[in-house]
Structure 1
Amino acid sequence: MLEKDYPHKDGIFVKELAFALDGVYSWLPRGYQHTFLIRDPKKIIPSYYKAAVGCGYQFDDWLPYSGGVKQLYDLFVYVTEMLGQEAIVIDAHDLCNNPRQMLQEYCKKAGLQFQEKMLKWEPYNNGHWHPIYSQGLSAESFKSKALQSSCFLPMSNTNVDMEGLPEYGVKQIKNAMPYYKLLYDKRIVLKT
């Protein structure tokens, strides 16, 4: 489905978690510009823990090694070294705090035309999602703020409170940070 022609579309966007590929990169569709959206593990993992607990999930059963950041880095290496593609890396904090400039730069790198409508959308605009993602507890627990949003909202620079985060989560953050820093160094940086 992802490799068929879409003659009247300027771009097709697909979002996936790198750890879902489980290292089987032959599953990657051909012909796509790979973009890596990163976020500080000190913010990802406590947030994930809160959502997982809210759904009744066991935290250590649902989080891959390093919170998935190592798998994201491994995929980045595959895309850049094996496919020879110049992957685009965007830090979520940068995107949310400078959406217009970041999207303009992203579009330039991806060969797309920036449009103002990229900055705003209708809340609960998920009718096109596969039912497994748009229904059930996980949709509300894991994506409620995103579903309710209508634009990019600035992210705080303050650290997330890790009080109550189990040792497993602290270990995942420690495992993730070296990979996050490697990707962070490759991110789009706006010229001042």
Structure 2
Amino acid sequence: MAKKKFSKEWIQQHINDPYVKLAQQKGYRARAAFKLTEILDGEKLLRPGDVVVDLGSAPGSWSQVARERLVGPGGVLNGRIIALDMLPMEPIAGVEFIQGDFREDAVLEQLAERLGGARVDLVISDMAPNLSGVGSADSARIQHVCDLALDFASRHLKPEGALVVKAFHGSGFSQIVESFKRSFQRVVERKPKASRDKSSETFLVARRLKHQVS
């Protein structure tokens, strides 16, 4: 009974959520689009001509935001977006999509092949693992996802590039921040207005690699 009540409450909050309504108006696939928009504006990231990799991209709202910012006069895409997710994603004009599990080497190799040695300006990751409710197990899963994004960025970013990753406050969070600081010159935490107050999610923005991993 309690579960049913919670579901009804969640649905009601979702329906009344101003960001949900705004996303529908603007044609975004999810309210998460506004989280990335605020981060990009605050950090002055993503310019025409940039190469972007979107990890955990489905349903595609972050790729939509990236595309908007790379489209120049006449609607021509000035830059490149490669998106990756385990789940299928409806096509977005100009966005290259790879369906596969980011944790598998074969999928990472496919992504690297698609880049063809080109360095990336921005890696964005809204990935979140399936959480079990068991604190120690969940923190390990969250850390693993963040480590994968960090490792990919360390291998493929330009020296001045940036990485935006979703993490969660709680056990293991400080270790994630420390690992980012070992790899990047500047690491900041951002909690966008579109991120629900009750959510422990926070976004790490890391800039300028200290050293490139080959």
Q: TM-score range by the shorter chain?
A: under 0.3
Q: Which has the higher contact order (CA 8 A, sep 6+)?
A: 1
Higher strand share: 2
